[in-house]
Amino acid sequence: MASRTYRGPLALTLALVVALVVSTGFQATAQAPTPIRGGTIVVAIGGDPPHLNPHFSTLPWVWMVGMAVHGSLVRLDQELKPQPNLAESWTVSPDYKTYTFKLVRGVTWHDGKPFTSADVKFTFEEVASKLNASGPVLLGNLERVDTPDPSTAVFRFSRPHPTLLLYLDVPLTGGLLPKHLYEGTDIRRNPVNAAPIGVGPFRFVEWNRGDRIVLERNPNYFRKDRPYLDRVVFRVARDPAARVVALQNRDVDLILGYDLALRDSIPIRQSREMKAVFNVDRAISGQWWIGLNTSKPPFNDLKVRQAIAHAINKSFIWQRVFFGLGKTSTGPISQYLGPQYNKDVPKYNYDLQKANQLLDEAGVRRGAGGIRFRTKFTFDGTSAEFSRIADILKEMLAEVGIDMTLESFDFNTWFDKVYVKKDYEISRGRHITGPDAVGAMNIEFHSKNTQPGQRNYYFYNNPEVDRLIEQGMVETDPPKRLQIAHQLQVLIMRDLPVIFLMDTPQPNAYRSVFNGLDNNPYGAQRLEDVWITTR
């Protein structure tokens, strides 16, 4: 009886839902806009790039020009899955030591010369693995690239490299370079770095340093339906407020998250003419944290580090500095990195009583004026967010008797003090946790990476973590590798060399008439898919 009673309304509801879904679907299909060809996009960039070779810079502006001009074997989609690009297909040997790429045939460089496997060999053997700063870390085990024919490139590694495909997009190590223009030259000083010739969707036109970089559509691009835009202009706009005003005035069309202060994204989000879209740049998965120098007392004491973690009210920082954007961090891997993130790690909630208790147990008791110990927070004052975080941290740590003075420098001096000389006690960090969690943790937390210029400036040293990282780096079974990534996050949170503050996606701000943006997991935008609704 009961089923008969409910069957009528249920059926009616279902019918309505189905009708709604179907009609919405049809409507969506009917209204799905067709990309339009033509137009110009003006991208505001916050500084003058040194050159336009993505192998020699980690600046997103250089990456973005690189993706537009240079081209790559594969491209990562938003889910971090490698998609064919100039390599139309590939096979991987079971031991992950050999990758065979089949290249798209008939592709030419912007100067008309044919693109072949010799270019791939030259790029990876002579530039990516040797001259690129990330090369020794990401491609260090590359033995050689064989070229059995002009459209086949075979990468051979001395050890398994299960994550190679994640590093073959333009950012970091993947940008392809023309052998015929670089071979036999001083590659770092080659003029082509400032007037690049690539195989990408846009051709380089001109670069007026300090003012603009201009690209135009490559009519011979191998993807015949791309790009949509005729022209791309990167305009240097150093002042953050003036950049936003330029966007409001339609003088520029796009500001990358890298160049957009979070507070400036709020009025943009409230505008109809502009969008501030939080690009889930998974490959980078940015994180803000503070690093503790575990080689110096009292930070060599786990209880002191735990006490500091308990004394910091992350929600307050999230609201006051990040305006409720992004998420408070729970561990060394960003929540935006997908399945590689592990939420089941030791937690350190805001708890002043616990913080005081831990400091007492560590033997750092309150002295005159209620002060337990004095320390310094070393940061670069060029970041508005970290300047505010520094002020807030000072107040918060004072609550538990830690007297922290603030030591602010320009970026270069800060980098030299912290990364190179390791002359600090507490410092700021803004790091990337992807695209491969084990690889990112290798760079940040392996004890071998504590030398000048390397990123383990906390002097974190846990043999178990080192062992797991080394195992994970060559693990070819994805579930096992994932398990190792999760285990590492637990161990690092247990040891706490770093207080993880925020997982922040980068808001890209752009005029609403532009479509196809927010399509790149590296924060920099892939412009070949971008088109304008109205011109």
Partner 1 sequence: MAVYVARRLAQAIPLVLAVIILNFLIVHVAPGDPVNILVGEYGSTPEFRERVRREYGLDQPLPTQLAVYLRRVLRGNLGHSLYYNQPVIRLILERLPATVLLMASQLVFALIVGVSLGVAAARRPYSALDNASTAIALVGYSMPVFWSGLLFILLFSTTLGVLPSGGMSSSREQVQGIAVAWDVLRHLLLPAFTLGLVNLALYVRLTRASMLEVLSHDYVRTAWAKGLAERRVIRHHALRNALLPVVTITGIDLGRMIGGAVLTETVFAWPGVGTLTFTALQTRDYPVIVGTFMLVSVGVILANLFVDVMYRILDPRIQYG
State the residues that interact with partner 1 by CB under 8 A. Answer: 40, 42, 47-48, 50-51, 56-58, 133-134, 136-137, 172, 188-189, 193-194, 208-212, 233, 235-239, 241-242, 245-246, 248-249, 251-252, 409-413, 415-417, 419-420, 432, 443-444, 449, 451-455
Of 45 and 400, which CB lies nearer to partner 1 in the complex structure? Answer: 45
Angle CA 60–62–68, to nearest 5: 100
Q: How far is the CB of 251 from partner 1 (least distance, A)?
A: 5
Distance between CA atoms of residues 115 and 153, nearest Å: 12
Q: How far is the CB of 311 from partner 1 (least distance, A)?
A: 28
Of 275 and 446, which CB lies nearer to partner 1 in the complex structure? Answer: 446
Of 116 and 132, which CB lies nearer to partner 1 in the complex structure? Answer: 132
> Both tokens of residue 59?
């600046």
Q: How far is the CB of 456 from partner 1 (least distance, A)?
A: 9
Of 107 and 237, which CB lies nearer to partner 1 in the complex structure? Answer: 237
Identify any residues that bridge with 43 across adjacent strands, giving them in sequence order: 234, 254
Q: Under DSSP, is residue 128 helix (H, G, I), strand (E, B) or coil? A: helix
Distance between CA atoms of residues 435 and 511, nearest Å: 28
Q: How far is the CB of 95 from partner 1 (least distance, A)?
A: 26
Name residue, tokens 């380089």: 204
Q: Burial code of 198-212, b = ≥16 C-beta within 10 A, e = fewer?
A: bbbbbbbeebeeeeb
Residue 406, class by beta-carbon neighbours within 10 Å (0-12 exposed, 13-18 middle, 19+ buried)? middle
Residue 263, class by beta-carbon neighbours within 10 Å (0-12 exposed, 13-18 middle, 19+ buried)? middle
Q: How far is the CB of 208 from partner 1 (least distance, A)?
A: 6
Of 56 and 350, which CB lies nearer to partner 1 in the complex structure? Answer: 56
Give residue 24's identity as a one-letter amino acid code: T
Q: How far is the CB of 363 from partner 1 (least distance, A)?
A: 35
Chain mean position to CA 47:
19
Q: How far is the CB of 310 from partner 1 (least distance, A)?
A: 30
Of 91 and 208, which CB lies nearer to partner 1 in the complex structure? Answer: 208
Closest by CA to 236, choosing from 506, 45, 384, 507, is 45
Q: How far is the CB of 410 from partner 1 (least distance, A)?
A: 7
Q: What are the residues whose beta carbons fall under 8 Å from the beta carbon of 23, sequence distance 6 or more? A: none
Contact between 162 and 96 (Cβ < 8 Å): yes
Q: How far is the CB of 529 from partner 1 (least distance, A)?
A: 21
Phi, psi of 91, rounded to the nearest 5 degrees? -130, 150
Q: Under DSSP, is residue 76 helix (H, G, I), strand (E, B) or coil? A: strand
Torsion of CA 242, 246, 248, 252, to 10 degrees: -140
Of 48 and 361, which CB lies nearer to partner 1 in the complex structure? Answer: 48
For β-strands 152-157 and 373-380, DSSP reports them as: unpaired
Q: How far is the CB of 411 from partner 1 (least distance, A)?
A: 7
Of 59 and 358, which CB lies nearer to partner 1 in the complex structure? Answer: 59
Contact between 420 and 453 (Cβ < 8 Å): yes
What secondary structure does DSSP assign to 378-445, as a single string? EEETT-HHHHHHHHHHHHHHHTTTEEEEEEEE-HHHHHIIIIIS---SEEEEEEE--S-HHHHHHHHH
Q: How far is the CB of 147 from partner 1 (least distance, A)?
A: 27
Q: What are the residues whose beta carbons fall under 8 Å from the beta carbon of 216, sequence distance 6 or more? A: 202, 203, 205, 230, 231, 232
Of 109 and 457, which CB lies nearer to partner 1 in the complex structure? Answer: 457
